[in-house]
Structure 1
Amino acid sequence: MVVGAHVAGVDLPSSPAEARERVDRLLRTQFLSGRKTGQDDVVWADALLVTSELVTNAYRHGVGLTGFSARIEGNELLLSVADQSTAFPVLPLRAKGEFTTGGYGWAMVNRLATRLSVIPTDDGKRIDVAVALV
């Protein structure tokens, strides 16, 4: 089951919540079905957190979502999120002990992803992320 497509304006989630719902449905039907372990709960939460962060950033910083897909291959959730911005996400530099508002999501995505690519496109960029499901 593939959720979404990379076709501009066609079947794209209208919000981060809708993207999370799609990934939740995918995980429940293809990965978590019949399983009941604490580790699965953590994996599920990580996958939804990464989904939410990528789609939120596409709407907030990327001038809108232009592509979205989610699928399971082997033991990984593969997410792909495209937006209209050509600016790549950055990890803000902070001094030790410095705490500021915002800027933590991309670091979280980098930490939770087993693979991550930012790819320039003709109309912006696409971020491809793999999240381990085991």
Structure 2
Amino acid sequence: MTALTAHFDVPIGPDSPGTSRQAVVDILRVWGYIDDLWVADAAVVVSELVTNAVQHGAGSVTLGIEAYGLHVIISVADGSSVIPRRREPDGRGGRGLLLVEAFTQHWTVEDHQGGKRVRAELQPYPRLEDLHTQAGTGREHP
């Protein structure tokens, strides 16, 4: 199965997480990732990474999706070089990276154009047959 990729700039504002989440869900479904529970987990990861980038990052935010069969990586880049760290949850937050850890195999941070990029590999997609149906047909799932 070939790699599928998508990258786009995220408009900064209060709607950034929701808009990004919906865009990623739509892309994943077009690519054949139609398992509702798995897609919902992916949406949580997108929301948390974009929220962190908007609240704690700097400059523009770019979101990327890479799909390699059962493996999907979500990445979010921003202009801040400050590395995100897990902290104790309180009334202001602190649950985002805990959620990212719960719904991914692992996540990493790398330097990116003077800032950073957080890359999170989702849990493997559970239904290979969905992706075989999509591969090579040029058709979208209904």
Does the TM-score normalized on the shorter chain lie above 0.5?
yes
Structure 2 residue 9 is matched with structure 1 residue 3:
no
Identity of aligned residues (%): 32
Q: RMSD across aligned C-alpha pairs, in angstroms?
A: 1.8
Query: 1:37 aligns to what?
Result: none
Matched residue SS, 2:10 = coil
Structure 2 residue 90 is matched with structure 1 residue 100:
yes
Q: In the aligned structure 2, how far is the partner of 1:49 from the partner of 1:64?
A: 23
Q: In the aligned structure 2, how far is the partner of 1:121 from the partner of 1:2?
A: 18
Question: Counterpart amino acid of 2:56?
Answer: H
C-alpha offsets along residues 30-73 of structure 1, whole Å, 9 cap, x if unaligned? 1235xxxxxx2211110000001101111110024432211221
Q: In the aligned structure 2, how far is the partner of 1:104 from the partner of 1:64?
A: 23
Unaligned runs of 5+ in 2: 127-142
Q: In the aligned structure 2, how far is the partner of 1:72 from the partner of 1:30?
A: 9
Query: 2:30 aligns to what?
Result: 29
Normalized against structure 2, the TM-score is what?
0.73
Structure 2 residue 63 is matched with structure 1 residue 72:
no
Q: Does the Cα contact within 8 Å between 1:58 and 1:64 map onto a contact in 2?
A: no
Unaligned runs of 5+ in 1: 5-10, 34-39, 94-98
Normalized against structure 1, the TM-score is what?
0.77
Q: In the aligned structure 1, how far is the partner of 2:59 from the partner of 2:104?
A: 23
C-alpha offsets along residues 8-40 of structure 1, whole Å, 9 cap, x if unaligned? xxx41222222112211112111235xxxxxx2
What are the within-5 Å matches in structure 2 for residues 121-132 of structure 1?
121-132=112-123
